[in-house]
Amino acid sequence: MSTTVWFLTSNPGKLEEAQHHFQELGIEVKGLDLPEDTILEPQAGDLETVARSKLAQALAHLPHEGAMVMVEDAGLFVDALDGFPGVYSSYAFSTIGNHGILRLLSHLVDDDPVRIKNLRSASFEAVAALWDGENVLLGKGVCKGAIATKVQGEAGFGFDPIFIPADLDDSGEPVSPGVLGAVSTHGQTFGVVGPYTKHQFSHRRRALEDLLSQLPLLEPDE
Ligand code: IMP
């Protein structure tokens, strides 16, 4: 099968992750790297609206008629900050950065390892939107966790060095703080454990899997 999905991204890590997932269905993923400022990031309160807007704009730049195109948008949502930085994650990262987020939470400390995880709870969320040539399909993924008290590790990108994912049970669901899950970083951030382990928890992987589950016409044997 020679189906191709054009992925609107300039982030090589995101492209690689999408290629990995789609190849299981025999779908090739190619990067659609448009000139800067071609796609405007809308000011919106949720990732879905941002992703839908970017996808609608991308449709004007399809590499060929009938092409399938995908966008993916993600952000860090800190509960104690009412979801900030959320849709402003990119801007927040390039301005206040990881140290700025840590400063905003510096009053939230506790000697109890469970209480502090609850106080500093946060999630990564991702929304992937795909134009399949006829319809827009949406996939969503969440990775629950907590914000560390200091920057740890240098792997990954963005907020990875301050994000500690919640342990997961056998079926990939997050367990309560204080319970050791079947999959665990043992309190380490994504910045310490690196991409292979991050993949097991990844909000992005979950969003892509959700999207792929909606592509019944693209089974591998077809
Ligand atoms: P984007 O719009 O999907 O590129 O994500 C916006 C911002 O959120 C990025 O610039 C990162 O700072 C942050 N972000 C999104 N996903 C991740 C992740 O998986 N790890 C760390 N930071 C992330």
Q: How confident is the model at residue 156 (pLDDT cuts 50, 70, 90)?
A: confident
Q: Measured from the CB, is residue 159 less than 6 Å from ligand 1?
A: yes
CA distances, 44 to each of 51, 88, 103, 147, 213 (Å): 10, 9, 25, 24, 27
pLDDT of 1 above 50: no
How many domains does the chain fold into?
1
What is the predicted pLDDT for the residue at 2?
58
Q: How far is CA 131 from the centre of its chain?
A: 19
Residue 52 lies in a domain: yes
| Annotation says 132 is catalytic | no
Q: What is the token pair recorded at 89?
A: 């994650």
Reported confidence tier of residue 95, pLDDT bands at 50, 70, 90: very high
pLDDT at 218 over 60: no
How far apart, in whole angstroms, are the C-alpha atoms of residue 120 and residue 107? 10
Asked whether residue 222 is domain-assigned, the answer is no
Say if 183 falls within a structural domain.
Answer: yes
Domain coverage including residue 151: 4-212
Residue nearest to atom 9 of ligand 1 (CA): 90
How far apart are the C-alpha atoms of 106 and 179, rounded to whole Å?
25
pTM reported for the whole predicted model: 0.91
Give a yes or no: residue 147 inside a domain: yes
pLDDT one-digit tens code per residue, 13-66:
788 878 887 887 788 999 998 888 888 888 888 999 999 999 999 999 988 888
Cis peptide, bond prior to residue 85, ω within 30 of zero: yes
Q: Give residue 207's identity as a one-letter amino acid code.
A: A
| Domain-embedded: residue 155 | yes
pLDDT over 50 (residue 219):
no
Tell me the C-alpha distance between 92 and 87, whole Å: 9
Give which of 167, 157, 3 is closest to 90, Cα–Cα: 157
Half-sphere exposure at residue 8, Cβ-oriented, CA atoms within 13 angstroms: 32
Residue 220 Cα to ligand 1 midpoint, Å, equals: 31
Query: What is the maximum span of the chain, computed from C-alpha positions, in angstroms?
Result: 59
Which CATH number belongs to the domain containing residue 95 in this structure?
3.90.950.10
Residue among 53, 93, 196 whose CB has most ligand 1 atoms within 8 A, to mutate = 93
Q: Is residue 190 part of a domain?
A: yes
Residue 136 belongs to some domain of the structure: yes
In the reported structure, the alpha carbon of residue 187 is separated from the centroid of ligand 1 by a whole-number distance in angstroms of 21
Has residue 220 been placed in a domain? no
